[in-house]
Amino acid sequence: MKIPWAVYPFLLWTGSLRAESAQDVVQQGLSEVRSGDVERGLSSLRRAAQLEPGNASVWITLGLTAQEARRYDDARDALERALQQAPRSETALYNLAMVYEKLRDWSRARDAWTRFLALSPSADLKEIAQRHVDRLE
């Protein structure tokens, strides 16, 4: 059924038709993952990233979820996009370094850990990162 254009303002006003927000889709995706439907959850998170491609938090959520699902190529791509939006994101950089290690991309892993060392104020996290750098040299 095709909806006449003149009806759209009414549908928006009543809430019958509303634009999908990235945050709503992220929540839906995380709920799907928690219920065991990882593929559907990842698909929802990808849709959220398409809705707000400039939102680093959405890309980080997609990256961390893909990482947890052992979808390392997808995790790498999402975390790299997150860092394009938020170059100083410790969460994105730390997890990207871990993903590079899983992908056996030792050079990029070492570079990411080195960048993380320069960025993080946490002594504990710097110690962890330094151990990774030392192991990768």
Residue 119 has pLDDT above 60, yes or no: yes
Which residues, 6+ apart, have CB-to-CB distance to 115 below 8 Å?
A: 93
**Of 104, 105, 114, 108, the residue nearest 134 (C-alpha):** 114
Please count the structural domains in the chain.
Answer: 1
pLDDT at 10: 45
Model confidence at 19, pLDDT cuts 50, 70, 90, reads low
Work out the average pLDDT over 74-94.
97
Which residues, 6+ apart, have CB-to-CB distance to 13 below 8 Å?
A: none
Residue 9 has pLDDT above 60, yes or no: no
pLDDT at 4: 47
Model confidence at 20, pLDDT cuts 50, 70, 90, reads confident
CA dihedral 130, 128, 77, 53 (to 10 degrees): -110
pLDDT at 12: 46
Consecutive H or E run containing 74: helix 72-85
Per-residue model confidence as pLDDT tens digits over 86-102:
999 999 999 999 999 99
Per-residue model confidence as pLDDT tens digits over 51-66:
999 999 999 999 999 9
Provide the token pair at 97: 């370094």
Which residues, 6+ apart, have CB-to-CB distance to 33 below 8 Å?
A: 41, 42, 65, 69
CATH code assigned at 81: 1.25.40.10
Model confidence at 137, pLDDT cuts 50, 70, 90, reads confident
Q: Which domain holds residue 101?
A: 5-136
Note the pTM of the prediction, 2 decimals.
Answer: 0.84
